Amino acid sequence: MLLSCAEASAQRRIERAGVINSPKGFGLSVGIAQSDRRIYNTVNLTADMEGILDGTETTPGIKFSWLHENILRRGVIRDDVSYCFFVSGGFTTGYVKDHGAANRNHGAILGLAAGTGVVFMFSERIDIALGFTGEFGMQLRKDETFGTLDLSWYENGVIKAPIPQITLYYRF
């Protein structure tokens, strides 16, 4: 039963790459295994979908996040499928549109990210991760009416935290 959780890879290496699918955004994700098997790092680059799916905005935002995952529990279920539960913390940055008036400008964000989820590992070199990520940060943007620089809480990071994301990975 040679699945990534059971393999003893002793050094840090890029273990998997995949596609993030979520109503929040679509993007790419890379998983970096660490020498300590209880820790995992994930780097995500996503196109933020605020306003896109309900047609009020045509330009997606861009978001980069780095998450440091602590694996709480590993297990095996039938058919040689193994799983890991994890909690993660990290940071996020990007240029996105926040929740609010439809004509709001995009703005730069910086904040802390936290998440939780489960990764299912299949023998076909496919991993499927189901997770939730919340972000707590600030946004700096140009006011659409007065042209001044506004600094505000990045509300979408908290409002959209309960929206799930499914990431399909290919394991190298």
Interface ranges with another protein (CB under 8 A): 21, 53, 55, 78-81, 122-124, 126, 128, 166, 168
DSSP track, the chain: ---TTTS---S-EEEEEEEEE-SSEEEEEEEEE-SSTTEEEEEEEEEE-TTTTTTS-SS-EEEEEEEEEEEEEEEEETTTEEEEEEEEEEEEEEEEEPSS-TTPPEEEEEEEEEEEEEEEE-TTSEEEEEEEEEEEEEEEEE-TTT--EEEEE-THHHHTTTS-EEEEEEE-
The residue among 35 and 59 lying less far from another protein, judged by its C-beta, is: 59
Shortest gap between Cβ of 79 and another protein (angstroms)? Answer: 4
Shortest gap between Cβ of 60 and another protein (angstroms)? Answer: 10
Shortest gap between Cβ of 161 and another protein (angstroms)? Answer: 20
Shortest gap between Cβ of 66 and another protein (angstroms)? Answer: 25
The residue among 55 and 162 lying less far from another protein, judged by its C-beta, is: 55
The residue among 18 and 90 lying less far from another protein, judged by its C-beta, is: 18
